[in-house]
Each structure stands twice: as structure tokens, then as C-alpha cells.
């Protein structure tokens, strides 16, 4: 059906077409241009819905090359799903910005840039050619620089937009180098052809050096930079000076580009297990650091920035254990959630300014003020069994009922382990919070967790079959992410001991009130850790000092060569 294939080209062209009047007529008819922009994005969303519905009903996908060979697109389930999410979030951001940005001097220009960003993201996730993918990748970084520096009166916004620009250029060079290696070794820019040749001849060498490991490392590095992995994360939390609609779109779609890139090149990563192991380690460190830094921020949007960094770490870590489809599901869910959080951050701040007094509440007293509250508790032995066993049984049974071979994959076991840690931590916190009716509280918590785990398991497995319908491909990804069985068992036992020991130390310190005693070892450790994380591990200071050094060096070189 050629007319159905043309829908994708029209869906891509609509945001580009609406950007023209916004940029040209923005100063004189800004409001009308903004409404036209919203209508164009809404029409694009409907077209992507039609394409995805067609695939779900008929199982048919358009050919990888549309509009002759002028615009080769790859409309697989991954591209269609992300195109739908991007256009949907972009529409919400457009509607929100209609009134939010009304008093800004660059009102029309902002909507024009927003349209171009939407088109670039759509082209990125649907491109079937390496050249087009790289062009879209570069365009997203350039447009992000313009959007973050939209308010030219704020010096800090321009400075941090420049930080973002420089960081993205590092990832761009890595992606271009990886693409050139793949083209030189396999002789094609077309992604379907390239992946087919990689599957047939994975051991191709160039100058005596294997191509795939180096290309995989370069592609993964590009994903690390765009998804703000530690220590290349500094640009992300410091882009909060940009407009709130830009923050919403960036944290809901642009930062997720790293997870998309790893999924798009999944056929490549099947043959480079060491790169997947690196993804796991980088993602794990980023998730821990981002979550810790989030807890020490006193700025709402900056805290959301570090929260995004932590979630991107989890997403990269999921790719590292072979759960590529789960990473896509994660980035979609996180994108929808984080866009809502950013668009509501202004209302939350305004509400807090109106009502700055916090009413007395047991949960607030316990969590924020760290003061004990009155109430009954469950017997500690029963609470310990519930804390350790119930989350494990829920996660294990739910996955076993859906996929019998789930536990044969090391990556799946790792994900179950982190799910168990999260669930156990929640039960552990609830046990420390007394209640008038602890049995009722625990039953409600058990039912809530059962619903969440069952829903996540079913949706996760269905989504996995949707994105990667080839079972052999799914098994190959999990197998590539596997490590030596003895090392895997030792790692699991060590992590379990560390986490259980940390829970016991925290419980012991709080039960004896060691944290509040002046001069105690625990209090000293707590204060030093808080100081370290409140200064963001001094990474920002190092980057700022390096930036000042580069400016001074450039100034001296400029004077020495008499360029000015």
C-alpha cells in the first residue's frame, strides 16, 4: 500500500513545514504560528498512530526504503513506538508552551526550533541509513543548544548551553568514527544491509584489527555522552536554566537517545560482549551516583535532572545485561513520567510559595525530620521475613508464570536482584514507620506491590516480543551479556551481603540515634558523605576549572598569534 508508506514521510514533513511560518512570521503573527505548529504536531501524531495501528493489526511493516531512495526509513517496531512517544510528548509540550512562553521575546522562534527538534528526533528514530541517522543525531545536539540558550539575557543559560554543546560534540565524534569503521568494513550505509552483513561475517578486520569491538565501543560511547553517564553527566543537571518546556522535552526524549542508539545497534552488540559488560558497569555507577546526588539537591529542577541521570543509568545497565526491550520500555515510561514532572514543577514551586508551612504528619516527621513517631510495629522476625522473602517470591513467581526459561538468563537474574532490592527496601522502610494498624498497612502494601509487579511483568514480556519478535535474537542478546558462572554467583552473593549489611548498619545507627550524637563516628561519616554529595563529587568544580584553563589557553594563543 504505497499511500500508507507515504504517511511516514508526511508525518516527518509536517513539523518541518510548520517551523517555517513560526520562524518567518513569528514576530508579527506569533500566536497564529504557534497554533499552526500545534496543529501540525497533532496531525503528525495521528499519522504515527495510524502506522503503528496498521502494524499491530496486519503485522505488516513498510519497506525500509520510502520515497524511492531519497529518504530511506526503517519503520520497525522500535522506530514506530518511539515516533509515537516523541510526537505525543512534543504535542503536550507545544500546548503547554503556548501560554507559558507568551511573554518571551523569541516566542515565534521558540516554536520554530521546537518543531525542528521534533522533526529531528522523529528522523533519528526512523532513519534506515547511517548517514541520515548521523545527520539527525548532530541536528538534535545543535537544536538543543539553541533551545537551551533561548533566553539570551541570562548568562548562566548560555554558559550551560555551551557545556551541553561541547559534551555532545564529543559523543558526535565517537558516533561518526564508529559509523565510518562499519562502512569501511562492510561497505554499506543501509542499516538492514549492514546488520545482515555483520551477522554473516562478524570477524571482519581492518589493518589486522577487528572492526566490531572498536565500532561497538565508539557507538556505546556516543550513547553514554547523550544519556549523561558518569562522569560525562555534568551538562544535564545544569541545563535547568533553560525554559521548562525545553527541559520537559529534553528529559523525556533527547536524553533517551542513548538508549535508542544501543537498541538500534543491537545486532552489532550481539557480537561484542565486552562492550555490553562495560555498559552494565557504566550504567550501574551512573544509577547509584545520580540517585545519591538527587537526594542532596535543594533545587526542584536540578533534583529532577539528577533523577533523570540515575534513570538513564538504569536504562544503560539494562542494555548491559541484554534486556534491550526493557530499556526501551523504561525510557518510554520515564519519558512520560518526567515530562509530567517538569511541566508541573512550576505549579509545585508556586504552591509551595503560597503554603510554605508543612502540616504535622507522621510520614513527614519520620522521613524528613528523622524523629520517631508513636505507633505499633510488626514483630521483627515476621517483618524480616516479609522484607526479604515476599518481594523475591512476587518477582520470581510472576516471571516464572509468564516465561518458564526466564531464570536461565543471567541478565534476567540481575534485573530480578535489583527488583528484589527495591521491594525489600520499601518493606524495610515501612517496618521502621510505626502505624496504628501495621497489619492493614502491610496488607495494602503487599496488594499494591502485587499489582505493580504483575503489570510490569506482563507488559515487559509483551513489549519484548513486540520489539524483538525473533526469539533467537532475544536469546543471543542475553547470551552475549552473560559472564562466567562462578564470577556471576560471586558477584550476586557479594552484592547481597553489601546491601543487607548496609540495611543493618542504617537500622542500628538510627535505632541508637548515632546519627544525631555529636562526635560519634557515624555522625562524622554522615556529615562527610553529605558534604561530598552536596558538592556533587567535585566533578563540576573540575569541569569548571578545566573550562577556565581552556579559555585562558585560547586567549594566550590568540595574543601570541596576533589574531586580534
Cell of 42: 497533532
**What stretches of 195-248 adopt beta strand conformation (E)?**
205-206, 209-210
Residues 50 and 182 in one domain: no
pLDDT at 68 over 60: no
CA-based nearest residue to 117, from 100, 93, 98, 101 = 93
- pLDDT tier at 412, thresholds 50, 70, 90: low
Q: Is 440 part of a structural domain of the chain? A: yes
- Domain residue limits at 214: 157-349
Burial of 169 (0-12, 13-18, 19+ CB in 10 A): middle
- pLDDT tier at 370, thresholds 50, 70, 90: very low
- What pLDDT is recorded for position 364? 47
Q: φ, ψ for residue 73 (rounded to 5)?
A: -120, 150
Contact yes or no for 313/293 (Cβ under 8 A): no
Q: Is 517 part of a structural domain of the chain? A: no
pLDDT at 165 over 70: yes
Q: Which of 384-388, 424-428, 528-532 has the highest mean pLDDT?
A: 528-532
Residues 231 and 189 in one domain: yes
Q: Is 32 part of a structural domain of the chain? A: yes
Question: Whole-angstrom distance between the N-terminal and C-terminal Cα of the chain?
Answer: 61
Q: Is 165 part of a structural domain of the chain? A: yes
Dump the DSSP string for 472-509. Answer: HHHHHHHHHT---HHHHHHHHHHHHHHHHHHHHHHHHH
Cell of 241: 536554566
pLDDT digits (tens, 9 = 90+) for 446-476: 666 666 666 666 666 777 788 888 878 888 8
**3 state SS of 203:** coil
Residues 368 and 342 in one domain: no
Residues 325 and 436 in one domain: no
pLDDT digits (tens, 9 = 90+) for 499-522: 667 666 666 655 555 555 555 666
- What pLDDT is recorded for position 418? 63
Q: Is 74 part of a structural domain of the chain? A: yes
Residues 480 and 333 in one domain: no
- What pLDDT is recorded for position 378? 55
Distance CA 22, CA 243 (A): 18
Answer with the one of 316, 349, 382 that is the final residue of a domain. 349
pLDDT digits (tens, 9 = 90+) for 476-494: 888 887 777 777 767 777 7
Q: Looking at 79-88, 374-383, 421-430, which range is the least confident one?
A: 374-383
**How many structural domains compose the chain?**
4
Residues 195 and 270 in one domain: yes
Distance CA 441, CA 434 (A): 10
Distant-in-sequence, close-in-space partners of 106: CB < 8 Å, separation ≥ 6: 26, 150
Distance CA 395, CA 417 (A): 9
Residues 112 and 168 in one domain: no
Label each residue of 280-325 as H, E or C. HHHHHHHHHHHHHHHCCCCCHHHHHHHHHHHHHHHHHHHHHCCCHH
Residues 288 and 345 in one domain: yes
459 C-beta neighbours (distance < 10 Å), count? 12
Distance CA 550, CA 558 (A): 12
**3 state SS of 470:** coil
Residues 175 and 244 in one domain: yes
Residues 274-284, mean pLDDT to the nearest whole number: 88
Distance CA 255, CA 249 (A): 9
Q: Looking at 8-17, 47-56, 427-436, 538-547, which range is the least confident one?
A: 427-436
Dump the DSSP string for 406-468. Answer: GGG-HHHHHHHHHHHHHHHHHHHHHHHS-BSSHHHHHHHHHHHHHHHHHHHHHHHHHHHHHH-
- What pLDDT is recorded for position 218? 92
Query: How high is the mean pLDDT of the chain?
Result: 75
Contact yes or no for 182/215 (Cβ under 8 A): yes
- What pLDDT is recorded for position 25? 64
Residues 120 and 240 in one domain: no
Residues 507 and 547 in one domain: no
CATH number at residue 15: 1.20.120
**3 state SS of 376:** strand
Cell of 243: 525554559
Q: Is 473 part of a structural domain of the chain? A: yes
**3 state SS of 392:** helix
Residues 373 and 344 in one domain: no
Q: Is 139 part of a structural domain of the chain? A: no
Cell of 502: 548496609
- What pLDDT is recorded for position 65? 46
Amino acid at each position: 500500500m504505497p499511500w500508507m508508506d507515504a504517511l511516514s514521510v508526511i508525518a516527518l514533513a509536517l513539523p518541518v513545514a510548520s517551523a517555517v511560518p513560526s520562524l518567518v512570521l513569528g514576530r508579527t503573527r506569533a500566536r497564529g504560528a504557534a497554533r499552526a505548529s500545534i496543529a501540525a504536531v497533532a496531525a503528525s501524531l495521528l499519522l504515527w498512530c495510524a502506522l503503528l495501528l496498521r502494524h499491530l493489526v496486519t503485522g505488516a511493516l513498510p519497506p525500509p526504503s520510502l520515497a524511492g531512495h531519497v529518504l530511506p526509513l526503517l519503520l520497525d517496531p522500535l522506530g514506530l513506538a518511539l515516533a509515537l512517544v516523541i510526537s505525543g510528548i512534543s504535542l503536550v509540550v507545544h500546548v503547554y508552551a503556548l501560554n507559558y512562553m507568551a511573554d518571551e521575546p523569541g516566542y515565534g522562534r521558540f516554536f520554530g526550533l521546537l518543531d525542528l527538534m521534533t522533526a529531528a528526533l522523529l528522523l533519528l528514530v526512523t532513519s534506515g541509513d547511517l548517514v541520515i541517522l548521523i545527520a539527525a543525531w548532530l541536528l538534535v545536539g545543535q537544536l538543543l543548544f539553541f533551545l537551551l540558550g533561548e533566553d539570551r539575557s541570562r548568562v548562566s543559560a548560555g554558559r550551560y548551553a555551551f557545556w551541553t554543546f561541547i559534551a555532545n560534540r564529543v559523543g558526535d565524534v565517537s558516533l561518526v568514527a564508529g559509523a565510518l569503521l562499519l562502512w569501511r568494513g562492510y561497505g554499506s550505509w543501509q542499516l538492514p544491509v549492514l546488520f545482515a552483513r555483520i551477522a554473516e561475517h562478524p570477524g571482519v578486520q581492518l589493518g589486522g584489527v577487528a572492526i566490531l569491538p572498536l565500532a561497538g565501543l565508539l557507538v556505546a560511547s556516543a550513547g553514554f555522552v547523550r544519556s549523561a553517564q558518569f562522569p560525562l553527566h555534568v551538562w544535564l543537571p545544569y541545563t535547568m536554566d533553560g525554559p521548562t518546556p525545553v527541559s520537559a522535552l529534553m528529559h523525556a526524549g533527547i536524553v533517551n537517545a542513548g538508549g535508542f542508539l544501543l537498541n538500534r545497534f543491537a545486532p552489532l552488540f550481539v557480537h561484542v560482549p565486552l562492550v555490553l559488560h562495560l555498559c552494565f558497569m557504566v550504567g550501574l555507577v551512573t544509577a547509584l551516583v545520580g540517585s545519591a546526588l538527587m537526594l542532596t539537591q535543594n533545587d526542584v529542577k536540578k533534583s529532577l535532572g539528577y533523577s533523570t541521570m540515575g534513570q538513564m543509568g538504569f536504562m544503560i545497565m539494562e542494555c548491559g545485561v541484554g534486556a534491550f526491550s526493557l530499556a526501551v520500555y523504561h525510557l518510554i515510561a520515564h519519558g512520560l513520567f518526567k515530562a509530567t514532572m517538569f511541566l508541573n514543577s512550576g505549579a509545585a514551586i508556586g504552591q509551595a510559595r503560597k503554603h510554605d508551612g508543612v502540616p504535622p504528619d507522621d510520614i513527614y516527621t519520620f522521613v524528613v525530620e528523622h524523629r520517631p513517631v508513636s505507633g505499633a510495629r510488626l514483630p521483627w522476625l515476621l517483618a524480616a521475613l516479609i522484607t526479604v522473602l515476599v518481594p523475591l517470591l512476587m518477582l520470581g513467581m510472576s516471571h516464572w508464570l509468564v516465561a518458564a526459561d526466564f531464570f536461565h538468563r543471567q541478565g534476567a537474574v540481575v534485573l530480578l536482584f535489583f527488583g528484589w532490592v527495591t521491594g525489600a527496601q520499601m518493606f524495610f522502610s515501612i517496618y521502621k514507620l510505626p502505624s496504628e494498624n501495621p497489619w492493614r498497612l502491610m496488607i495494602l502494601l503487599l496488594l499494591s506491590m502485587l499489582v505493580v509487579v504483575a503489570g510490569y511483568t506482563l507488559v515487559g514480556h509483551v513489549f519484548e516480543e513486540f520489539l524483538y519478535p525473533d526469539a533467537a535474537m532475544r536469546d543471543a542478546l542475553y547470551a552475549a551479556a552473560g559472564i562466567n558462572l562462578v564470577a556471576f554467583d560471586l558477584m550476586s552473593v557479594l552484592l547481597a551481603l553489601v546491601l543487607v549489611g548496609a540495611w543493618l548498619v542504617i537500622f542500628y545507627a538510627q535505632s541508637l540515634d548515632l546519627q544525631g550524637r555529636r562526635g560519634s563516628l557515624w555522625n562524622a561519616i554522615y556529615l562527610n558523605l553529605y558534604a561530598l554529595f552536596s558538592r556533587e563529587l567535585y566533578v563540576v568544580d573540575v569541569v569548571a576549572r578545566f573550562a577556565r584553563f581552556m579559555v585562558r589557553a585560547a586567549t594566550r594563543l590568540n595574543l601570541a598569534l596576533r589574531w586580534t
